[in-house]
Amino acid sequence: MGPIGTDRVRVIPLGGVGEIGKNMTVVEYGQDLVLLDCGGKFPEDNQRGIDLIIPDVTYVAERMRNFRGILITHGHEDHIGGLPYIIPQLKSKTPIPIYGTPLALGFIERKLLEARLEDQVDLRIVNGGDTVKLGEITAEFIRVTHTIPDACAIAIHTPVGTIVDTGDFKFDPTPVMGKPTDEAQLKRIGNDGVLALFSDTTRVETEGSTPSEVVVQKRMDEVIGAAKGQVVIATFASNVSRIHMAISAAVKYGRKVAVAGRSMEQNSRVALDLGYLDPPDGVLIPLDELLRQPKEKRIIVSTGSQGEAAAALARIAAGEHPKIRVSKGDVIFVSASPIPGNEDTVSHTIDNLFRQGCDVIYSAIDRGVHVSGHAGRDELLKMIRLLRPKFAAPIHGEYRHMMLYRDLCETSGMKRENVLMPEIGGVIEFTKDSANQKGRIKAGNVLVDRLGDREEGQVVLRTRENLTRDGFVVVTIVLDRASGELIAGPELVGKGLPAELSANVLREAEGELRRTLERKKKGAPQYGYIVQRTKETIGRALYRRSRARPLILPVVTEL
């Protein structure tokens, strides 16, 4: 793909179209290139042994001379989670400017400190309403509501025209934290003229408008008010406003709050430091201290609302959390909906919580425990009407969401041919009055394979080209579904391995895993946990003995 002149602006999604997750878009004008968001995506079942999926940024890395920085819409993982793996790939000689609101940058700073990459970036705080000069491009941040405070849409002004990326949004008239979406600013931008709108489409299947966060606050308040025992609220680690709600209810009902789960601890620390959370003294306390309080005084806000095997809620549900025990009389408030693909793990976790005797309140039985952060059809239309773009393009959605968004644009009066269907790596070039899809660049998935959270540096990025370079080790395990007991295996078989991974080394690793699995407490089904422990144990055992990093494929069959 050659250089671009000054009569056109080029937009290339590197992720987040035809999929939900790993949002990232290139916008290029003249000698200036910016990235919008830098997200990660959690792997699906058939990407076993993989920790995260990120976009392929080859195109950007080859154009660093023109690179002006990364603009972040908000601090959710699918918008910032790729940064620790992508920053090093860009091989920038100077610190990379990253622009975002304080909370998003707070989360990013924590991630990059952990990855020891803090020196490679230059974090620049902006707020809704601010503009930033990036060469001949001007980026304007617009406050929107979502499930995280301080989310923004971003307008990219170029001499050819303005491109708006909505980020994730809804029009929540009564957000629990922060102010409503800045409709005046959107309207003004619309009046000035919008060349193209790239819109969130996740919830285009749903008629009407998405309910306000106030719905959840009200329901959480009722549940905590009525609860006799311990209350556990499970949500995403980044969902600061749900922590805020829990603190409000704690104050009202004389309880105290602690957070559980490493990412939740870190995020709440960031939110406290930045003043997003401002609890009265002694209300938000460390977990150990909370667990010395009587049960009826406790609120625990925990990770694991998607049933993730390693997160606090799944461990609590399986009776295997190192500190937290639940029992009859305790209330679990699952403040999330299962992300498609996670239904099974969420449902196993809920079943396990019922087995512990808890009252579990979850989205299938109670509409008030969670509301989406994404715009329903009426809100998507409202955004179109405020901005009145010449062209529109659905992003942040599966293919069917994108198609339905195109239909929706038509009902708003747009011409069907003015709604583009972007593809990952598909180049869209806009002039003042035309839009053309112009070929494809190298793009796609890169699989992030970590050796373990704390063994920093031991990350392998597996691309299409190198996926089988390091060989692979298949680990076969058969489990009893009811008891979680090991029926057969683990059996290791390798293929394409380097010489230092001898049969002996494999046998030793196999023995190590067998001992780990046999030590595991018998009990509830633990499919995800076994997959994860298998990958960790074998990966580390082989690395320790040989410094080799083959791809580990845990194959767990349940009987």
User: Binding to its own copies by residue 557, rule CB under 8 A?
Assistant: yes
Residue for token pair 């690793």: 509
Nearer to its own copies by Cβ, of 243 and 447: the residue is 447
**Shortest gap between Cβ of 511 and its own copies (angstroms)?**
16
Question: Of the ranges 100-108, 304-312, 325-333, 342-350, which one interacts with its own copies (CB under 8 A)?
Answer: 342-350
Of the candidate residues 95, 319, 444, 452, the single one contacting its own copies (CB under 8 A): 444
| Smallest distance from its own copies to CB 107, Å | 28
3-state SS, 490-516, equals EEEEEECCCCCCCHHHHHHHHHHHHHH
Range 40-99, binding its own copies (CB under 8 A): 44-48
List the 9-15 sheet strands across, edge first.
Answer: 121-125, 96-100, 67-71, 32-36, 24-29, 9-15, 426-430, 435-440
CB of 48 to its own copies, least distance (A): 7
Q: Contact between 225 and its own copies (CB under 8 A)?
A: no
Q: Specify the residue, 472 or 543, whose C-beta has the smaller distance to its own copies.
A: 472
C-beta closer to its own copies: residue 72 or 492: 492
Which of 491, 498, 502, 508 binds its own copies (CB under 8 A)? It is: 491
Alpha-carbon distance of 109 to 112, in angstroms, equals 5
Question: Cβ of residue 353: shortest distance to its own copies, in angstroms?
Answer: 8
- Residue 203 CA to residue 168 CA, distance in Å, equals 10
Of the pair 434, 468, the CB lying nearest its own copies is at 468
Candidate residues 251, 474, 486, 548; the one interacting with its own copies per rule CB under 8 A: 474
Written as one letter, the residue type at 98 is I
| Distance between CA atoms of residues 31 and 112, nearest Å | 28
Helices (H), 145-239: 183-192, 214-226
User: What number of chain residues touch its own copies (CB under 8 A)?
Assistant: 54
Please, what is the minimum distance in Å from the beta carbon of residue 229 to its own copies?
Answer: 16
Which range in 61-69, 82-90, 294-302, 359-367 contacts its own copies by CB under 8 A? 359-367
Which of 77, 379, 398, 429 is in the footprint of its own copies by CB under 8 A? 398
Q: Does 350 bind its own copies (CB under 8 A)?
A: yes
Say how far apart CA 515 and CA 511 lie, in whole Å: 6
Closer CB to its own copies, residue 154 or residue 336? 336
Contact call for residue 493 and its own copies (CB under 8 A)? yes
Stretch that binds its own copies, among 91-99, 250-258, 379-387, 459-467 (CB under 8 A): 459-467
- For residue 42, the one-letter residue type is F
- Select from 62, 351, 433, 453 the one that contacts its own copies (CB under 8 A): 351
* Distances from the Cα of 1 to the Cα of 12, 297, 428, 440, angstroms: 11, 62, 12, 8
Query: Which one of the spans 191-199, 215-223, 304-312, 440-448 is the region binding its own copies (CB under 8 A)?
Result: 440-448
93 CB-contact burial (10 Å; exposed 0-12 / middle 13-18 / buried 19+): exposed
Examine residue 193 and tell whether it contacts its own copies (CB under 8 A).
Answer: no
Residue with smaller CB distance to its own copies, 154 or 443? 443
Question: Distance between CA atoms of 143 and 128, rounded to whole angstroms?
Answer: 5
Q: Does 360 bind its own copies (CB under 8 A)?
A: yes
What's the burial of 548, exposed, middle or buried (CB within 10 Å: 0-12/13-18/19+)? middle
Q: Which residues of 412-440 are buried (b: 16+ CB within 10 A; e: fewer)?
A: eebeeebbbbbbbbbbbbbeeeebeeeee
Name 493's bridge partners: 474
Of 186-194, 280-288, 360-368, 380-388, the window that binds its own copies (rule: CB under 8 A) is 360-368
DSSP 173: S
Burial class (CB in 10 A: 0-12, 13-18, 19+), 165: buried
| Residue 464 within binding range of its own copies, rule CB under 8 A | yes
Token pair in block for residue 325: 């025990």
CB 252 within 8 A of CB 221: yes
Q: How many CB atoms lie within 10 A of CB 400?
A: 12
What is the sign, positive or negative, of the torsion defined by CA atoms of 399, 400, 401, 405?
Answer: positive
- Among 113, 125, 184, 487, interactor with its own copies by CB under 8 A: 487
Note whether 378 binds its own copies by CB under 8 A.
no
Contact 507, 515 (CB under 8 A): no
Q: Which string of x and - marks every residue 516-555 that binds its own copies (by CB under 8 A)?
A: -----------x-------------------------x-x
Task: Compute the least distance from the CB of residue 352 to its own copies, in Å.
Answer: 8
Taking CB under 8 A as the criterion, the residue among 218, 399, 453, 515 binding its own copies is: 399
Decide if residue 495 touches its own copies (CB under 8 A): yes
Q: Rounded to the nearest whole angstrom, what is the least distance from the CB of residue 18 to its own copies in the complex?
A: 8
Minimum CB separation of residue 170 from its own copies in Å reads 18
**Binders of its own copies among 252-281, rule CB under 8 A?**
none
What stretch of H or E contains 472?
Answer: strand 472-479
Tell me which amino acid residue 272 is.
L
Q: Is 405 in the site for its own copies (CB under 8 A)?
A: no
Based on the shown chain and the rule CB under 8 A, indicate whether residue 355 belongs to the binding site for its own copies.
yes
Q: Is 341 in the site for its own copies (CB under 8 A)?
A: yes
Cis preceding-peptide flag for 490 (omega within 30 of 0): yes
Q: How many whole angstroms separate alpha carbon 298 and alpha carbon 224?
A: 10
Nearer to its own copies, 113 or 493 (CB): 493
List residues near its own copies by CB under 8 A: 18, 44-48, 205, 340-341, 343-344, 347, 350-351, 354-355, 360, 364-365, 398-400, 403-404, 424, 444-445, 447, 462-464, 467-468, 472, 474, 476, 478, 480-482, 487-488, 491, 493-496, 527, 553, 555-559
